[in-house]
């Protein structure tokens, strides 16, 4: 599979230094312009400050990019016609030479093939809630790709709008190791905890690194999910988020939103209904995950 590496990412990989992959859907679909450019630059800087190189992944005119130039980031952030690309969409993006933003699934897929072992994101996709009158049982491709791409994903759990118990059950069925980093419960994206237990936890970076290294050495044919809760002073309460989600889901149902459009629609509604608070929390947890991912990548490469 052909990929274009930025000079900094290629140099880091050639030298065996730490590299952290970043998805690009958060840029094109997660925040408005120019706030999305600010977020992308801040995430990359956080990673570099921790001694690793940042590799934001995207599709530009049909080419897979591992590490973006400033002008490529600008295209993703401001053009308005960027396709959200999961793994299944990559052949179309290549053939039609379109601009595409990578999801958790497609970023994991590309990162493994690029030789990158650690990936930071906000929160993974999962099992959607089968609300009355809704769209029924819908499982994100993120979960399947976690079961088959050997990449460690650092995230604040799964997005709060999802069915979190069912999401954990699917991850168990796919034999994906789920590790709580300095937590024994599954984070709920905007909230510190969902109240659900994680199957394993690591109390320090040293302990986490040993678990991850063992996973790779055992050649377990899956990725890993590292659950890193948002800092307490940045988090929203579970009650606050539940109320906002109920209102946002009702709006989505009335608007007839379905399939892959549900998550971005509801996240946008949450931002509006919370007067921008949910976006600030999203920003904080993304930067926190980038920091932990960079520490992990540096520890593994060391």
pLDDT at 133 over 50: no
Domains (ranges, CATH) in the chain?
A: 4-301 (3.40.1790.10)
The strand ranges marked E within the chain are: 4-5, 19-22, 53-60, 63-66, 83-85, 100-102, 118-120, 152-155, 178-181, 200-202, 224-227
Give the active site residue among 72, 112, 159, 295: 159
Residue 211 has pLDDT above 60, yes or no: yes
For the chain, give the mean pLDDT.
Answer: 94
Q: Rounded distance, CA 298 to CA 292, Å?
A: 10
Position 128 confidence tier, pLDDT thresholds 50, 70, 90? confident
What is the Cα–Cα distance from 112 to 167, expressed in whole angstroms?
23
pLDDT at 137: 67
Between 272 and 253, name the one with better pLDDT: 272
Convert the pLDDT of each residue in 254-264 to its tens digit: 998 877 677 77
Query: Which of the residues 23, 112, 145, 295 is marked catalytic?
Result: 23
Q: How confident is the model at residue 132 (pLDDT cuts 50, 70, 90)?
A: very low
23 included as an active-site residue = yes
Does 229 score more than 90 pLDDT?
yes
What does the pLDDT average to over 152-171?
A: 95
For residues 68-88, average pLDDT: 95
Q: What is the pLDDT of residue 265?
A: 84
CA distances from 33 to 151, 260, 264 (A): 30, 22, 16
């Amino acid at each position: 599979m052909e990929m274009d590496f930025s000079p900094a990412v290629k140099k880091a990989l050639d030298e065996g230094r730490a590299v952290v992959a970043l998805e690009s859907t958060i840029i094109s679909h997660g925040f408005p312009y120019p706030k999305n450019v600010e977020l992308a630059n801040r995430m990359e800087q956080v990673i570099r400050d921790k001694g690793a190189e940042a590799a934001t992944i995207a599709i530009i005119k049909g080419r897979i990019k591992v590490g973006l130039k400033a002008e490529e980031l600008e295209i993703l952030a401001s053009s308005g016609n960027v396709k959200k690309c999961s793994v299944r969409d990559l052949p179309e993006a290549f053939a039609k030479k379109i601009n595409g933003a990578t999801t958790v699934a497609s970023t994991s897929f590309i990162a493994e093939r690029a030789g990158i072992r650690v990936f930071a994101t906000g929160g993974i996709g999962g099992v959607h809630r089968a609300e009355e009158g809704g769209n029924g049982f819908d499982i994100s491709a993120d979960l399947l790709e976690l079961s088959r791409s050997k990449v460690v994903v650092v995230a604040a759990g799964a997005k709060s709008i999802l069915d979190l118990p069912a999401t954990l059950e699917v991850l168990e069925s796919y034999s994906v190791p789920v590790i709580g980093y300095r937590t024994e419960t599954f984070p709920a994206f905007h909230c510190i905890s969902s109240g659900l237990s994680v199957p394993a936890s690591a109390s320090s970076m040293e302990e986490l690194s040993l678990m991850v290294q063992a996973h790779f050495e055992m050649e377990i044919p899956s990725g890993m999910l590292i659950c890193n809760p948002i800092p307490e002073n940045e988090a929203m309460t579970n009650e606050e988020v539940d109320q906002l989600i109920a209102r946002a889901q009702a709006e989505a149902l009335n608007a007839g939103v379905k399939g892959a459009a549900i998550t971005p629609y509801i996240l946008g509604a949450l931002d509006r209904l919370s007067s921008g608070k949910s976006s600030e929390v999203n920003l904080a947890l993304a930067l926190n995950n980038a920091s932990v991912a960079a520490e992990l990548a540096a520890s593994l490469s060391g």
